[in-house]
Chain A
């Protein structure tokens, strides 16, 4: 009998599984119940025809109504605003989900995890975003017919002022999308949910590694004769830069110099910095999870390493994540985590208030300062398109996305080094040609608008 009764403890394993599972579920309940409750099938908050009993609205930072659940779904008053914020509000058919509303569904209706929906359902729920409708419209107009993304955020607080993705459409006047190449991938939020070949803006990552790993980096020079051999392949430059310092190489975006620097640093060092700076990581905020980037070197030949170090090879970055890298350089090595939702109120009672948190990935403050100076030099010497009377620091890129180099994405990323306008930005223009020619003017326009908006506040 002794033996048998000892064996009986086997039956306890299952009872423990039951209890542990119950605990796990309870944990999940406290983490997610406010999202579950907002499900559109919930008849406690939706009426029989699928309309909310509660009136929920999304507003921009100035209070402009962008989306409301009144009378089914109501969008902003003018078509340009509707188009400019479409990827944040979602469309009428759910092809673009309303993630920001779903994420804060519980807060909007005044839901509380302890007492449930019992007697607490609100009449009005307002979600105030950090974006500005004016900036959104300016960015949309600056992008014109190009597909791409523009993002601007305050690297000290984390507020995203601009998050535009094109192509877009007017949800109140839906065009023929199926089969129309102009609307390819229109349902994707390119700023948050897509990745791009970065091109030369990635040289900033290589520069961070070089500043920290090459002891004599600021006294060394590299020679560019239009091309150079690395391993058995040839890297071509877009010009003939002669003998250059690293600062000059960055300003001229010299591929020959940077491919040599990258090859010298080697695969392991580059990978370590990509991981340390979080370049390919995902960001999670307000219900969004940004798409992960990629940096895939695995015992690769030096040519590939060099090519990857200048933002080609298989490199992919997410625009929003890269924007926070700019923020980190700007803010002395540490950037705020970006967010889109500033405040949620339910029946005029605040149920959610965004808080500034800092991202874990940091850059050494000295490195950040050096890099800032180099990026400032870029703007002063190379980017005439930037007309702002503020210390803008930036890097452009022209990312080859077709094998023959005929299709290029224009990229431009940087920040304003100013206490009153602490803004980091990223611009990606698909098939846009040169970064400094196409993307830089867009950044310039959007930043002007941002400064107007901040001045007005």
Chain B
């Protein structure tokens, strides 16, 4: 009690001395970019420099005695070099069969139209469960699947980079905590006195939350915490903008972070079991449509887009959560991708989603879904032609829409010419650029911005808000954060266990990136302003929940040793000593 009082008095003393406040801010504006860079370099170097050593799940023995490693849960076998297991015998087809491993360690083989078919123990099969030692004949070439030995496993364990070994996550998180304490400190000096209590408490809660999650995952023997650290870094900056502009909303945002983490854990749990995840797809399909339908029926129109539902004082944006459902529907396993080449059911689903989004007339969200659709379609079909065709068709439809509905066109009139429309449709962008310029590279200090008085500054224009108060350097680092996550996803795609995870993670990363592109470039007039949120940073609960949900998909593809709770350890429960 006494301590608290002393602290309070100390705080008042600091605030009352203008000289001290100025001195603190002057120093901190250089400290923040340095700390932020340090945190990011640690996270990103850990994410992008891990050794891509595949996990080995079994061995395939060929007639000549060669042992081929089986490195995924889904393996395309055939003569072509692009196959996962290349068996170069002339009687095999280029793509002959798919060998699949399941969560419980059982295996199956399916014929995908290989010449000469598939036979197991002499019996011709199109899809068949197999055991170790069974004689599998592909186009007459006989082979068998052998289990990995304890030795293999230990060797693999040592070879594979354990997440967090090279760059330890705890010191990074300590740096972030320091960053957060300094943020809260400067906010405490600069913002209105009545908000200070809430802001300090909420920052304390955020710090507690990130350590709780860290130790919780540690208890599960998972040590990959870079992506979460980056998410908390972005959240911290988002918290600071809310504290500066509207401290009354900070607690709500904190609660949404908690709910977001819960969603992240639940989704991660769902995803770690592939069979469970596959079954959940149907629930997700219905749920996604349901969320969008509900928006149309019960929704309220704001700024021309019907995107919000108000329930008892709370407003939610169900389309944010529909993104997660959309990824579930889009993800698919290898055997299905190879055997059913067509995308018809997914395209049909996307068309329905598209229609519903059109009814909501939320252009930004529609664009996010569309890009996610493109990436999923390409991952599944591998056809540039198809994807270009879709883009062209959509382009035509879009231009048609523009000519039919001139009011949509008007919304874009200021695009690229914001300064010519400074008083009307370009007002927000002009204010944003003016404030970015005012802030310089190092910012005017937290709480000292002016952009907060402009509508939607802590959501649509948050890049400029951050730039004004924190400086352009920190604002750019937020962008780098998102790009780094995408680079990591693509890098780890080659060692993912199932294409389901690869597709899910790529789609999730795409959504994060596209939202950032639309948000940032809309703010600075490189693109039209569409009102899409910056993941983790923008003030808004629904967006926060969705962002955490997207992280779960990314974690499910992170197969670095002991990295992710959304990935089962190679052999659950078994202690392997170093």
Contacts and interface: CB of A to CB of B under 8 A. Distances in A.
A112 B471 CA distance: 13
A8 B441 contact: no
Contacts of A14: 371, 375, 486, 510, 513-514, 517
Contact of A26 (B476, B516, B517, B521): B476
B436 A4 contact: no
Interface string B409-450: 000000000000010000000110111111111111100001
A10 B74 CA distance: 21
B67 interface: no
Interface residues of B, number: 66
Given A10-B375, A21-B526, A29-B472, A4 B440 contact: no
Contacts of A7: 378-379, 382
B434 A36 contact: yes
Interface stretch (A113-121, A135-143, A229-237, A319-327): A113-121
Contact of B441 (A18, A39, A116): A116
B468 to A, nearest CB: 8
Most chain B CB neighbours (cut-off 10 Å) among A9, A10, A32, A112: A10
B438 to A, nearest CB: 5
A355 to B, nearest CB: 24
A41 B22 CA distance: 25
B92 interface: no
B476 A44 contact: no
Given A8-B493, A112-B440, A19 B506 contact: no
A43 interface: yes
Contacts of A116: 437-444, 471
B379 A18 contact: no
Interface in B496-515: 496, 498-499, 502-503, 506, 509-510, 513-514
A25 interface: yes
B118 interface: no
Contacts of A19: 479-480, 483
Contacts of A387: none
B84 interface: yes
A266 B450 CA distance: 62
Contacts of B29: 118
A113 B436 CA distance: 10
Given A8-B379, A118-B29, A1 B84 contact: yes
B76 interface: yes
B157 interface: no
Contacts of B371: 14
B437 A34 contact: yes
B106 interface: no
Contact of B334 (A4, A29, A33, A43): A4
A3 B334 CA distance: 10
A292 B506 CA distance: 49
Interface in A219-237: none
Contacts of B514: 14
A24 interface: yes
Given A8-B506, A25-B521, A26-B476, A44 B450 contact: yes
A12 B441 contact: no
A292 to B, nearest CB: 19
Nearest to A22: B479
A197 to B, nearest CB: 29
Nearest to B423: A41
A11 B375 contact: yes
Contacts of B516: 18
A25 to B, nearest CB: 5
A1 B378 contact: no
A105 to B, nearest CB: 10
A11 B434 contact: no
A174 interface: no
A42 B422 CA distance: 12
Contacts of B526: 21, 24-25
Contact of B509 (A4, A6, A11, A34): A11
A5 B483 contact: no
A214 interface: no
A4 to B, nearest CB: 5
B26 interface: yes
Given A1-B76, A2-B84, A18-B479, A11 B472 contact: no
B375 A39 contact: no
Contacts of A117: 438-440, 444
Contact of B450 (A2, A29, A33, A43): A43
Interface in A30-48: 32-34, 36-37, 39, 41-44
B530 to A, nearest CB: 15
A283 B438 CA distance: 29
Interface string A43-71: 11000000000000000000000000000
B430 A118 contact: no
A15 interface: yes
A3 B442 CA distance: 45
B268 to A, nearest CB: 20
Contacts of A390: none
A117 B26 CA distance: 12
A2 B29 CA distance: 46
Contacts of A36: 433-434, 436-437
Nearest to A11: B506
B62 to A, nearest CB: 19
A11 B440 contact: no
A17 interface: yes
B494 A5 contact: yes
A28 B436 CA distance: 12
B83 interface: yes
Nearest to A102: B419
A8 B502 contact: yes
Given A8-B489, A10-B379, A18 B483 contact: yes
Contacts of B375: 10-11, 14
A1 B486 contact: no
A33 B431 contact: no
Contacts of A43: 450, 453
B82 interface: yes
A39 B472 contact: no
B502 A1 contact: yes
Contacts of B566: none
Contacts of A11: 375, 486, 489-490, 506, 509-510, 513
Contacts of A24: 526
B110 interface: no
B487 interface: yes
B474 interface: no
A349 B135 CA distance: 88
Nearest to A9: B490
B441 A113 contact: yes
A41 B431 CA distance: 7
B434 A42 contact: yes
Shortest beta-carbon contacts, A-B, top 3: A116-B440, A15-B486, A8-B493
15 contacts: A1-B76, A4-B379, A4-B499, A5-B494, A8-B506, A14-B510, A15-B487, A25-B526, A26-B476, A32-B437, A33-B437, A37-B438, A39-B430, A44-B444, A112-B440
Given A11-B509, A112-B440, 6 more contacts: A1-B72, A10-B378, A14-B375, A44-B444, A106-B437, A116-B441
Interface of A: 1-12, 14-15, 17-19, 21-22, 24-26, 28-29, 32-34, 36-37, 39, 41-44, 106, 111-119
